[in-house]
Amino acid sequence: MPRIKAMTTGSVPSFLDVILNFAESDTVSSMESQDTWLSQLKAKRDGRLVLYGDDTWLKLFPNMFSRADGTSSFFVSDFTEVDLNVTRNVPKELERDDWNGMILHYLGLDHIGHKSGPHRYT
């Protein structure tokens, strides 16, 4: 969550953001009313955004996406489910022209790093 906030606002996350990152039911940290590049894209005429991947985006930005298919990122031992969910949606979205921004959040590599650590060779 802190990294997504930093990427979308251009600001450094606070210590509270790090703490709230562990509260899966957290609704306080919604960024719906903050100035982000997502809100700027959506504010444009016919501004539509789509998201596939980590459901943290949906928690941070409720009502931001016209279409979305989020998958929980808290199953760190899963290296493929979120990524397959993202990939299976790409072809149909590329055929559509009713969106101006698409977020594809792949998590497999990140999960491998958390599970195996930096010194694992396989």
Q: Which DSSP string do the residues of 49-64 spell out, in sequence order?
A: EEEEEETHHHHHSTT-
pLDDT score at 103:
94
The helix (run of H) or strand (run of E) holding residue 48 is none
Region at 84 (left for phi over 0; alpha for psi -120 to 50; beta for the rest) = alpha
What residues have CB less than 8 Å from 74, skipping those under 6 apart?
24
Would you state the pLDDT for residue 121?
A: 61
pTM of the model: 0.73
Query: What local confidence, expressed as pLDDT, does residue 7 receive?
Result: 77
Give the chain's residues under pLDDT 50: 22, 24, 26
pLDDT tens-digit profile of 80-105? 777 888 899 999 999 999 999 999 98
Residue 52 half-sphere exposure, CB side, CA atoms within 13 Å? 17
